[in-house]
Amino acid sequence: MSKNFVEELQWRGMLHQSMPGVEDHLSEAMRSAYVGFDPTADSLHIGNLVPIMLLAHYQRCGHKPVALVGGATGMIGDPSGKSNERNLLDENALRHNQEAIKKQLSHFLDFESSDANAAVLVNNYDWMKEFSFLEFIRDVGKHITVNYMMAKDSVKNRISGESSNDGMSFTEFTYQLVQGYDFLHLYKEHNCTIQMGGSDQWGNITTGTELIRRIGNGKGFAITCPLITKSDGSKFGKSEGGNIWLDAKRTSPYKFYQYWLNSSDEDAEKYIKIFTFLDEAEIDDLVSQHAEAPHLRVLQKRLAEEITTMVHSKEDFENAEKASNILFSKSFKDDIKTLDEATFLDVFEGVPQFHMSRSEFDEGLDMIGALSAKTQFLKSNGEARRALKENSIAVNKEKVKEDYQLSSDDLINDRYVILNKGRKNTYIIKMV
């Protein structure tokens, strides 16, 4: 084996818990390990990146990764940390989501390799859909006691937690059995001996190792990674707009890049180990550079570059970087024209806008009208005149006086004019 997988996880801060003997087990031969992904959307989000990176490092260490799309379990809902059951997906939606997820995983995993450790994608719906309820409780259910299932944290927390008023449905209670059976099935059919996941999955994974012991007369192993937290206590993977998705149509590459770029120093030092393939020496060097000049944000910039390039592309990273720096560009007017409209709107998200017809604009718009009389960006014409006298008004980042008249030459992408009052106040006039 090229690298010791467990040691790799340890220095990266990606190992929470592992079963005794797993390191010896991995050192003996190439092993298969799986991670499950929820297919209830046609995109993964950055909360899925840690288990994805687990599989990616696993393959890079010479072992065989198995990505399981939980078509069957995704229809039930995992009780750990969640209070609501999921909606039932029809099979067409499930297959569509599965293909979209495989495409995203292929940025990290090699499914096409001719090597023995090529990644594999499986869907538990394929082996669960023909399994009758009576067969399941006869062949699987009888091997695990209710006492054993009740002792799991995921069950105890749901029953005694805040949502205990609603109780826990039988469907959710059986989730660990269904997930445990997946592990048994993969053990039998794919010689898969390890399941990996977040630390909240330990109980479900060990139900699988128990089924392998009791039904398969074999030995399965569990490896979990810590759940990612942010240093300020807010939820990792969320922004004001909700999840940060891996699909560019759901979260633009610019917003994706910005999420990582805006990490705190403490988080960036942690994330660069978890979410990149940079080696220990290179990361140590970046941490040292960052400590010497934190204002340069070396860690955040490199983290954002690595992960945006990996999830999207080098070109998407370069465009996102350019868009991030555009407000400080010396050739602002030329550079801003190179942005596509979606990225332009991302850069100026939340900036006050005034919509104006092109014909009205072409009739002539002076600076008092642009700042106040027509747009009400500033409270009064008097305030507009004072700002113009103080030389604090810019059109597309170029300072102007009161006698300036806006024309079609000022339109960016034939639609927008950007006005600034000082450094902090930005306004946009948009042609409609």
For the stretch 375-383, contacts whose Cβ atoms lie closer than 8 Å and that sit 24 or more positions apart, written own/partner, are 375/427, 375/429, 377/352, 377/419, 377/421, 377/427, 378/421
Q: Which two tokens stand for residue 1?
A: 């084996």
Q: Please report where in the chains the tokens 């942690």 appear, as a residue.
A: 270
Alpha carbon distance, N-terminus to C-terminus of the chain: 61
Q: What is the DSSP letter of 369?
A: I
pLDDT at position 161: 63
Rounded Cα distance between 33 and 20, Å, is 16
Q: What is the DSSP letter of 79?
A: -
Q: Which two tokens stand for residue 116?
A: 């023995």
Q: Which helix (H) or strand (E) holds 228?
A: none
Instruction: Tell me the residue length of the chain.
Output: 432
> Helix, strand, or coil here: 426?
strand
Cα 170-152-210 angle, rounded to 5 deg: 95
Q: Measuring CA to CA, how many Å separate 276 from each of 92, 298, 325, 424?
A: 34, 14, 23, 34
pLDDT less than 70: residues of the chain: 1-2, 73-88, 161-166, 240
Q: Which of 191, 222, 218, 208 is nearest to 140 (CA)?
A: 208
Q: Which of 127, 282, 143 is nearest to 208 (CA)?
A: 143
pLDDT at position 162: 54
Buried b (16+ CB within 10 A) or exposed e, 241-261: eebbbbbbebbbbbbbbbbbb
Q: What sections of 1-89 are H helices per DSSP?
A: 5-12, 22-28, 49-60
DSSP string, 265-296: HHHHHHHHHHS----HHHHHHHHHHHHH-GGG
Q: What sections of 61-140 are H helices per DSSP?
A: 91-105, 125-128, 133-139
163-204 pLDDT tens trace? 555 678 887 788 889 899 999 999 999 999 999 999 989 999
Asked whether the beta carbons of 337 and 412 are under 8 A apart, the reply is: yes
Residue 430 phi/psi, 5° resolution? -120, 130
pLDDT at position 85: 46
313-338 pLDDT tens trace? 999 999 999 999 988 888 888 888 88
Predicted structure pTM score: 0.86
Q: Please report where in the chains the tokens 């300072």 appear, as a residue.
A: 399
Burial of 134 from C-beta contacts in 10 A (0-12 / 13-18 / 19+): exposed
Measured over the CA atoms of residue 323, residue 242, residue 124 and residue 177, the dihedral's sign is: positive
Q: Which two tokens stand for residue 389?
A: 């006298």
Q: Which of 348, 375, 361 is nearest to 411 (CA)?
A: 361
Buried b (16+ CB within 10 A) or exposed e, 374-413: bbebbeeeeebbebbeeeebbbbbeebeeebebeeebbbe
